[in-house]
Amino acid sequence: MKNLIIEKAKNFSSQSHGSSDFWKEEVFVRGENDEEYVPLAYLQKENPEITSSEDLQKKGYVYSSLNFLELKNFEVWYEKQFNKKLSQKNKKLIGIVHLPDTEDIFKAVEIVNQVYQILKDHKVLVNGKNLPIQLGEWYAKTILGLKQIKSSSQRGFDFFSHEGKKVEVKIHWQDVTSQKGVKLKKSLVDMSDYTVIMYVAKNFMVRDILLLDSDFVIRKFGGKGHTIFLKDSDVLSYFFSRSDKHYGKIVNKKALLQFASPKLAMKIDEKLSAEK
């Protein structure tokens, strides 16, 4: 699949398509570099086995908003291909499907863990939450095949499933959960269809995943106030390490096993193997 897309993106990018309607497309697939892309619709037309971006995500591709990736070369490519400037309005709607090198990312995670430990030992590191949060969100996109799209509000970026369901993603970066539980904003949960908590260990590996219907979270744990605390003891039976109820929502099983902690990987691998 990778070689096929690289070839299609290279061929598509080698000529102008100003007379076509592909400029109207909202999903483009990145080729070998930041200067080569191909509309998903073109890929689908040329290759019937590709029915949606989810088919690519199953192969390890990730869906991100163009605004999130900040690909300046894409605008140059777009204007060259379609003889049109990319308007700010259209730019907000465009998603880029791209293939990360998970081997390089895995090596980087190991290096970052070592660096963080050194800084921690020398009392230099005080707050390292920004990286874990972004990495955890990348895990959610990769493993669950979520689309990260620019929010219409001031919040930043929202996550959506392939069915168009809004997903509230929360990253918890600790080896264990505090007794109070994971803190969620009730308003954000209430605006979503699903709530996903990615439990990322201090070594930056996924130690567990929790996926719940947001209505269930509000109904059972909402209570009073603006904050929800999900204690491990209250949702233990829903963890991926305990339940296979939501295994059908795992789009990229390889990435899950690759970035899961050894303990989680063993439990999930056993259950996934049993399904075959």
User: Are residues 236 and 252 both part of a single domain?
Assistant: yes
User: Are residues 133 and 48 both part of a single domain?
Assistant: no
* Tens-digit pLDDT profile for residues 82-104: 999 999 899 989 999 999 999 99
How many domains does the structure of the chain reveal? 2
User: Are residues 154 and 262 both part of a single domain?
Assistant: yes
User: Are residues 264 and 190 both part of a single domain?
Assistant: yes
User: Are residues 144 and 267 both part of a single domain?
Assistant: yes
User: Are residues 125 and 255 both part of a single domain?
Assistant: yes
Tell me which of 98, 120, 150 is where a domain ends. 98
HSE-CB for 197 with a 13 A CA cutoff: 29
Closest CA to 81 of 4, 149, 28: 28
User: Are residues 148 and 55 both part of a single domain?
Assistant: no
- Residue span of the structural domain in which 154 resides: 102-275
For the chain, 276 residues long, the average pLDDT of each consecutive 10-residue run is: 95 95 96 97 94 94 92 94 93 94 94 87 68 91 92 76 94 94 95 97 95 96 91 95 92 94 91 69
What pLDDT, on a 0 to 100 scale, did the predictor assign at position 150?
79
Eight-class DSSP state of 236: G
What pLDDT, on a 0 to 100 scale, did the predictor assign at position 271?
77
HSE-CB for 55 with a 13 A CA cutoff: 14
What pLDDT, on a 0 to 100 scale, did the predictor assign at position 53?
94
Tell me which of 76, 98, 120 is where a domain ends. 98
pTM of the predicted model, to two decimals? 0.84
